[in-house]
Amino acid sequence: MAFDLKIMVADKIQEMTESATIRMAQKARELASKGVNVISLSLGEPDFDTPEHIKDAAIDGLHKGMTKYTPVSGTLELKNAIIRKMKRDSGLEYQGNQIVISNGAKQSIFNICTAVIDPGDEVIIFAPYWVSYFEIVKFCNGTPVIVSAGIEDEFKVSAAQVAAAITPKTRMIIFSSPCNPTGSVFTGDELAAIAEVIKAHDNIVVVSDEIYEYINFQSKHASIASVQVCRR
């Protein structure tokens, strides 16, 4: 008996658009398998292997039986390591109950959108943007509001654009720095100007995707979380 998968899955799944990144990667693999010399500019993967000390630590963990369920928000050891990292690199102070471990940026963003967005809420997305932002917001019944910057602005949305895009329905702002896909990096001053706009709106959540923090050839990485603003 044949099954029609379109009948078996929910409408919201059928309405999702396939990730352009995944589609590009699959096409590159198909061409490579046919002997075509391909330079793939799709998946955000480094061109080096996982460092040996990380492999060794993973193998050591397996040998020690560290294969059972962990606390839902992550182990205390890993949280403490993240606390030290955030303090060392960004001067940020966090407690263990403020940190949640996930399987990656996509899961983290999906989790926070699911937890925060209600139907009809608007989410400002800086463009160019990582393709998953739009689909995650849409899946969570939010309304994506795209705010774009061109090459003349180094693909960086300005504080004035953010101010113009905010409405009473705005619930979240999502952006990445360094940016996927452009590589643009917001400076501390640029982030401070954006934070100055946002500070007047207590109901807006800022999601700063900093997964490419160390792939930065311009200046020291700046996080919007480190910007000090005084609410009115």
CATH code, domain carrying 208: 3.40.640.10
With 70 as the cut, is the pLDDT of residue 209 above it? yes
Let me know if residue 21 belongs to a domain: yes
DSSP element (H, E) containing 38: none
Answer for the pair 96, 76: CB distance below 8 angstroms, yes or no.
Answer: yes
* Whether residue 74 is found in the same domain as residue 121: no
Angle at 83 (CA atoms; ends 79, 87), nearest 5 degrees: 170
* Whether residue 227 is found in the same domain as residue 121: yes
With 80 as the cut, is the pLDDT of residue 180 above it? yes
The rounded distance, in Å, linking the Cα atoms of 157 and 186 is 9
Let me know if residue 92 belongs to a domain: yes
Say how many domains are in the chain: 3
* Whether residue 230 is found in the same domain as residue 146: yes
Let me know if residue 152 belongs to a domain: yes
With 90 as the cut, is the pLDDT of residue 190 above it? yes
Residue 213, SS3 per DSSP: coil
**Is the overall model pTM greater than 0.85, yes or no?**
yes
* Whether residue 130 is found in the same domain as residue 215: yes
Identify the DSSP state of 189: H
Q: Which amino acid is at 200?
A: A
* Whether residue 230 is found in the same domain as residue 187: yes
Let me know if residue 46 belongs to a domain: no
Q: What is the overall mean pLDDT for the chain?
A: 91
Let me know if residue 120 belongs to a domain: yes
Point out the domain boundary residue: 85, 101, 117. 101
Q: What is the predicted pLDDT for the residue at 20?
A: 83
Domain residues for the domain of 22 are: 1-41
* Whether residue 210 is found in the same domain as residue 153: yes
Which range, of 35-49, 98-112, 158-172, averages the lowest pLDDT? 35-49
* Whether residue 143 is found in the same domain as residue 215: yes
With 80 as the cut, is the pLDDT of residue 194 above it? yes
Give exposure, 220-229, as e/b (b: 16+ Cβ within 10 Å): ebbbbebbee
